[in-house]
Amino acid sequence: MTVLVFLDSAFPDGRPADAGVPQLMINDLGVTRGDGIFESLLAVDGVPRKPGAHLDRMASSAQLLDLALPPRDAWERAIATALALHTEASAAGTGSAARAAVKLVVTRGVEGAGTPTAWVQVTAAPDASRQRTEGIKVLLLDRGYDSLAAARAPWLLLGAKTLSYAVNMAALRYVRANGADDAIFTSSDGKVLEGPTSTVVLARERNGVRTLLTPERKSGILAGTTQDALFRAAEAAGWELGYGPLVPEDLFAADGVWLASSIRLLVPVRSIDGRELPFSEALNTELTKLADAAL
Amino acid sequence: MTVLVFLDSAFPDGRPADAGVPQLMINDLGVTRGDGIFESLLAVDGVPRKPGAHLDRMASSAQLLDLALPPRDAWERAIATALALHTEASAAGTGSAARAAVKLVVTRGVEGAGTPTAWVQVTAAPDASRQRTEGIKVLLLDRGYDSLAAARAPWLLLGAKTLSYAVNMAALRYVRANGADDAIFTSSDGKVLEGPTSTVVLARERNGVRTLLTPERKSGILAGTTQDALFRAAEAAGWELGYGPLVPEDLFAADGVWLASSIRLLVPVRSIDGRELPFSEALNTELTKLADAAL
């Protein structure tokens, strides 16, 4: 069951609409040019997790695309409306409202109109519990860009979460056709970047010091909201934090590697390019608890 | 006035629909992931120009994306239906049917449905006559990829005309904010690639031999249908043909540079990065005639 609420200045709490019928114009730049941005966040029992971090990142994406964004409180109200409708519909029907996926989308709007199209969509979150306990197989895929491209070429929109995700989807099709579950992108100059829909996190213990690491953001990757929430919780629990540059050998030398994302949360990587990685169930449980508590 | 015809197996000639009301589902992967492909072609007096080349390229894009494509004759019929409706509507109203822009779009369809969404859209073609005679100012923009990326990383979808055009649109916004009209992308290793919506063509005469050149396709650029039609006509008229690799200095050393695309056709580039280029009105007229006759 999908709940849909449009942002509409005539409706302060958002305008609910039927997601079961067509709602988008054929010449919306979101579809004709992939020209828009999005966020995906988790809601548990009707409460959105880290909405502030997602709205912050959406504002940053909008700035990179020079895209007019509806005001923040309009988003907050539309999210609340959509979650209330989803909880209501789930209680009435067979659906479960416990874990919901909330998608925020803004496109540049219909060609020539100059008004963005913006909506909130809520569906039941897919069950990722098996991946979270059993882990996944990953392939390293070249992202084509070098790690300095973001700094010198802002029109590449590196670091913006745009609707132009065809390459991310193609990467996932590629790894699945080749016996793996997910990908980690590397830059053409050999740095670890990110997954097509996730942030890379690794843990290592050296001389009694436990450190969580993630690639540096200036390499053109998306700011991971789940990775960031985990890092803050881990720091409070005594972990050291580190930010790249990282190379693939760092992944193989770590005590554990995870992909972090808002809906699936922390998923342990069990192998990369067919090479098995260290995996500790205790460490996976510890980090999962930190991430869950931090949300 | 916009004419819309969906490809629909229940309607052999296509299913006309009202482009003035929403026709797309909110969770169509075309909008949520930019996951689809398109073609834009010109029609003059109701007759599509080089439809075969566009359908060939669409098939090639579909293969790169592993996307199910409706059969070729379904496209041909839907295009004919849409153009007939457009001619009819233009005759009845104030619109001009003389030059129409025909857009073909296929998305991966609604999430989970596994059926592509496909349509033909016809609008009046924008008037590019001023750019065609007066020319445009261009900036060189780094595309971030090196010229070998396409060969080693098929998941980058280089050479496919996808709906994920946010970077192309950002490049156009960037150049317009900086006093220019269009962009020519270069690779991170310094090769000339293509425009965000066009193919680069240059002419040069050396020792009485006249040659048309364009960047080599293996550098990850789109196969230009207008450039190709021009090249075939020019060859028949005695021109030599050449295919890159080209570097920016080749553009400055040419006797003329053009951007070729299906709707705007040949547009002369009058300056690059503020540096004036040679321009011959006679040569522009000659190549424009060749391109127009070849379509």
Residues of A in contact with B190 (CB under 8 A): none
Spatial separation of the C-alpha atoms in residues A15 and A81, rounded to whole Å: 9
Q: Tell me how many residue pairs between chain A and chain B have CB atoms under 8 A apart.
A: 187
Q: Which positions in chain A touch B66 (Cβ < 8 Å)?
A: 170, 173
How close B231 comes to chain A (CA, Å)?
29
Q: What's the pLDDT at A91? A: 81
Domain boundaries, chain B: 3-125, 130-294
* Cα distance between residue B2 and residue B104, in whole Å: 13
With the CA atoms of A277, A278, A281 and A283 taken in that order, what torsion angle do they form, in degrees rounded to the nearest 10? Answer: -110
How high is the pLDDT of residue B1? 86
Tens digits of residue pLDDT in B18-28: 999 999 999 99
CA–CA dist A202, A279 (Å, integer): 11
For B145, the closest of A30, A145, A165 (CB atoms) is A145
Can you tell me the mean pLDDT for B265-270?
97
Hey, what's the torsion of the CAs at B205, B209, B210, B212, to 10 degrees?
-100
> Residues of A with CB below 8 A from B24's CB?
22-26, 28, 31
Q: Give CA torsion, residues A265, A67, B116, B153, to 10 deg.
A: -70
| Cβ atoms of residues A125 and A42 within 8 Å | yes
Q: Does domain B130-294 have CATH number 3.40.50.720?
A: no
Candidate from A21, A155, A165 with C-beta closest to B33: A165
Cβ contacts of B167 on chain A, cutoff 8 Å: 155-157, 164
Residue A143 to chain B, least CA–CA distance (Å): 7
Instruction: Collect all residues of chain A within an 8 Å Cβ-Cβ radius of residue B153.
Output: 141-144
Instruction: Give how far Cα B122 sits from Cα of B14, B87, B106, B292, Å.
Output: 13, 10, 15, 20
Comparing CA positions, the residue from B193, B167, B171 lying closest to residue A158 is B167
Taking 90 as the threshold, does the pLDDT of residue A201 lie above it? yes
**Mutation target among A38, A164, A173, A197 for the B interface, most CBs of B within 10 A:** A164
Return all residues near B238 (Cβ < 8 A) that are at least 6 apart: B210
Probe site for chain A from B23, B155, B188 (most A CB atoms < 10 A):
B155
Give the residue from B31, B141, B162 with the most A CB atoms within 10 Å of its CB, the best one to mutate: B31
pLDDT digits (tens, 9 = 90+) for A217-260: 888 999 999 999 999 999 999 999 999 999 999 999 999 999 99
Q: How far apart are CA A234 and CA B47, in angstroms?
A: 65
Average pLDDT over residues A59-74: 97
pLDDT band of residue A97 (cuts 50, 70, 90) is low
* CA distance to B234, B235, B259, per residue, from B285 (Å): 13, 17, 14
Sheet strand arrangement including A11-17? A11-17, A3-8, A117-124, A99-107, A36-44, A47-48
What is the pLDDT, as a whole number, of residue A94? 55
Give chain A positions within 8 Å (CB) of B2. Answer: 26-27
Q: Is A24's CB within 8 Å of B27's CB? A: no
Q: What is the pLDDT of residue A95?
A: 57
Strands A117-124 and A99-107: antiparallel
Confidence of residue A23 (pLDDT cuts 50, 70, 90): very high
Per-residue pLDDT band for A1 (boundaries 50, 70, 90) equals confident
With beta carbons under 8 A apart, name residues in chain A contacting B65. Answer: 166, 170
The pLDDT assigned to A243 comes to 96
Report chain B residues whose CB lies below 8 A from the CB of A145: 144-145, 188
pLDDT of A42-52, one tens digit each?
999 999 999 99
**Shortest distance, CA A16 to any CA of chain B (angstroms):** 13
SS3 B22: coil
Q: What is the pLDDT of residue A78?
A: 98
Cis peptide before B245 (omega within 30 of 0): yes
Taking an 8 Å cut-off on Cβ atoms, the answer to whether A24 and B25 are in contact is: yes
The answer to whether residue B93 scores a pLDDT higher than 70 is no
**Given the DSSP bridges, would you call strands B240-243 and B209-214 parallel, antiparallel or unpaired?**
parallel
In this prediction, residue A93 carries a pLDDT of 66
Choose, out of A169, A185, A193, A221, the residue to mutate when testing the contact with B (most B CBs < 10 Å). A169
Q: pLDDT band for position A9 (50/70/90)?
A: very high
Contact B192, B244 (CB under 8 A): yes
Q: Shortest Cα distance from B213 to chain A (angstroms)?
A: 26
What is the average per-residue pLDDT within A55-82? 97
Phi-psi region of A137 (alpha: psi -120 to 50; beta: other; left: phi over 0): beta
Q: Amino acid identity, residue A275?
A: R
**Which pLDDT score is estimated for B101?**
97
Q: Under a CB-based contact definition with an 8 Å cutoff, are residues B229 and B50 in contact?
A: yes
- Please list every residue in chain B whose beta carbon sits closer than 8 Å to the beta carbon of residue A173: 66, 155
For the stretch B30-44, pLDDT in tens is: 999 999 999 999 999
Q: Average per-residue pLDDT in chain A?
A: 95
CATH number belonging to the domain at A3-125, selected among 3.90.1170.50, 3.40.50.450, 3.30.470.10, 3.40.47.10: 3.30.470.10
Q: Which two tokens stand for residue A253?
A: 């030398």
Confidence grade of residue B94 (pLDDT, cut at 50, 70, 90): low
Query: Mean pLDDT throughout A195-201?
Result: 98
pLDDT tens, B225-257? 999 999 999 999 999 999 999 999 999 999 999
Of the partner residues A32, A66, A103, the one whose CB lies closest to the CB of residue B163? A32
For the stretch B189-227, pLDDT in tens is 999 999 999 999 999 999 999 999 999 988 899 999 999
Neighbours of A46 (CB within 10 A): 16
Tell me, what's the ipTM? 0.95
Average pLDDT over residues B124-146: 95
